[in-house]
Structure 1
Amino acid sequence: MAYSDQRVLSIQSHVVSGYVGNKSATFPMQVLGYEVDAINSVQLCSHTGYKVFQGQVLNAEELKTLYEGLKINEIDQYSHVLTGYVGSESFLKEVVNIVKEMKQKNPKTLFVCDPVLGDFGVGYYVPKELMPIYRDQLLPLSDIATPNQFEAELLADMTIKTEEDALKCMDIIHGLGVKNVVLSSTELAERDDTLLLLGSQLVGDKKKIIKLEMKKFDAHYTGTGDLFTALLLVWSHKHPDNLALACEKTISTMQVILKRTLDAAREIAGPGKKPNVAQIELRLVQSKKVIEEPPTDVVKAVVIEK
């Protein structure tokens, strides 16, 4: 297969119904013109917010077998590799081996890593043993890392209470070898109805700090982190030296999708009723046009050069 600069290997979870993991990430990247080959770390009937979530878990040997098949057929040429939820230590170690091999074969391969570990209010939702593998083996291979605030604190071994803390935290992650670090959402905004994205990009000997405020919706969504990382992969590839613009297009798209999802869920649930877990599934297919052409007037990033 001829090499393409818009071909992604995405390794993360899969659900039959709903939108998390590869189900949340694949469609937006395809809409934006990227070929996506998906390897599923787990395959479940639905995400874990439902009363039943059952299915299969891929092991490290099965992952190795799939990747070896791609190599034998000579269809293993990728411009990007994207990783999300992984549930076992052995599987994650095999992901490390694959990323290393891909970068050795083509040093221009870009690796976007969402170090999925957990979140506030939930704690870890993967084995704790995965954290040092991300920190010591996978993040040093990453071109972009997109931890949430909880994950960033674990990886940097520090607590984030202020913006200065967040900047220090991102510097620690830079120190692991990551050029672009984006804290996809933090609770550091001045208003309760607002979330703050913070990013840090190394360009030569300079560093650009990105700050972007976004509306916080009164709903519990799933798959938003997977959607965020997929969109950021595309827009940072299209705007390689402009992380601010990439984040603006990513968050603008997401804000429209989240509002559309919540409006539709409330309409289905009925007046005064809280939408249930099925009703609040992301409206991705209905948002094809906004994915292709993000609005320019929803959010605006502030850039500080250091």
Structure 2
Amino acid sequence: MARVLILSSVVAMGHVGLSAGQPVCQLLGVEVTGVPTIVLSNHPAWRHVAGTAVAPERITDMVGALEANGWLAGHAGVLVGYMPGVGHVEAAVGLVERMRAAAPGVRVVVDPILGDHPKGLYVKENVAEAVRDRLVPLADMVTPNLFELGWLTGRDCADLAGAREAAAALGVPVVHVTSPPLGEAETGVLSVSETGAELYRSAKEWDVPHGIGDVFAALIAAGLPVGQALGHVAALAEVSRGCDHLAIVESAARWTGAAPITSERV
């Protein structure tokens, strides 16, 4: 069985961060080692929220214990997600270094969770800068949304050509841009690598709970092809419309069987 390590946020109620990626991967037969960066009652968009960040040194201690037990070896992928502070970014850098030493060839995916349109950054600017300068250069793949791609590169991503050029300028072998500029009715993924660019289109669903981007990043870290990962994500978004939280468990029979989405060269 494949195994991935996810370093991200944990919520007691709902499905975001690690609490989204872990159940989705497990339902698809991929085991997950989960290390939390922050533990909250729920996503902060709700009226009431409580919790606290995990101290960076505790994260380093947990990773050290996993390493000492011989449990870092054998991972096929590692996903670095939400970072509450600069110290967490440094802990994540250490994790990536340890993972590559213990599991040569491990797939390193960074989901630069920094912000979105129209609110802009929802992490502190020094955290976003640390993610850009310290984590992104370590990645084999990154999964930014359109706002994050523009912020990381300082480029205009208003159309597909601009987004493609920005992704190529990021300096990462593979960039999967979620929410590419496709208009009001469509969304999908723009995948850019040294071999070119592929566009995967899916219908845009409205009133979908938080966590869809976390699911996609986790599936990429698990090694799913982009089209198959997006097929699962699109089906999950459709069945979760109007729900408080993603319907990961109750609708598993529907989204786990989703067909892959085909791509076009752009």
TM-score class normalised by the smaller sequence: over 0.9
In 2: Cα distance, 1:295 partner to 1:102 partner: 32
CA offset at residue 15 of structure 1? 0.5
CA offset at residue 300 of structure 1? 2.6
CA offset at residue 41 of structure 1? 0.8
8 Å CA contact 2:177–2:189 kept in 1: the answer is: yes
After TM superposition, the structure 1 = structure 2 runs for residues 75-154 of structure 1, keeping only pairs within 5 Å, are 75-77=71-73, 78-154=75-151
Give SS of 1:82's match: strand
CA offset at residue 196 of structure 1? 4.3
Match of 2:58 in 1: 62
In 2: Cα distance, 1:111 partner to 1:231 partner: 12
Match of 1:180 in 2: 174
Q: TM-score, normalised by structure 1?
A: 0.82
Give SS of 1:160's match: coil
Match of 1:198 in 2: 190
Amino acid across the alignment from 2:88 = F
**Residue 247 (structure 2) pairs with residue 283 (structure 1):** yes
Counterpart of 1:251 (choices 217, 227, 230) is: 230
In 2: Cα distance, 1:153 partner to 1:48 partner: 24
In 1: Cα distance, 2:234 partner to 2:161 partner: 26
**Residue 225 (structure 2) pairs with residue 261 (structure 1):** no
Which 5+ residue runs of structure 1 have no aligned equivalent?
Answer: 239-245, 266-278
Which consecutive segments of 4 or more residues in structure 1 shift more than 3 A?
none
In 1: Cα distance, 2:188 partner to 2:64 partner: 41
In 1: Cα distance, 2:233 partner to 2:265 partner: 20
**Residue 205 (structure 2) pairs with residue 217 (structure 1):** yes
In 1: Cα distance, 2:115 partner to 2:97 partner: 25
In 1: Cα distance, 2:215 partner to 2:265 partner: 23
8 Å CA contact 2:72–2:103 kept in 1: the answer is: no
**Residue 23 (structure 2) pairs with residue 27 (structure 1):** yes
Give SS of 2:251's match: helix
- Spell out, residue by residue over 1:181-235, the C-alpha distance to the aligned partner (whole angstroms, 9 max, x if none): 010112x21x421124211123xxxx1311122211221520111011112223x
Aligned residues: 265
Amino acid across the alignment from 2:41 = C
8 Å CA contact 2:6–2:34 kept in 1: the answer is: yes
Alpha-carbon spacing, 1:220–1:122, altered in 2? closer, same or farther (3 Å): farther
In 2: Cα distance, 1:138 partner to 1:227 partner: 20
In 2: Cα distance, 1:7 partner to 1:218 partner: 32
In 2: Cα distance, 1:110 partner to 1:27 partner: 20
Match of 1:270 in 2: none
8 Å CA contact 1:28–1:291 kept in 2: the answer is: no
Match of 1:165 in 2: 162
Alpha-carbon spacing, 1:220–1:253, altered in 2? closer, same or farther (3 Å): closer
- Spell out, residue by residue over 1:45-80, the C-alpha distance to the aligned partner (whole angstroms, 9 max, x if none): 111111111012101111111111112222222221
In 2: Cα distance, 1:81 partner to 1:37 partner: 9
Q: TM-score, normalised by structure 2?
A: 0.93
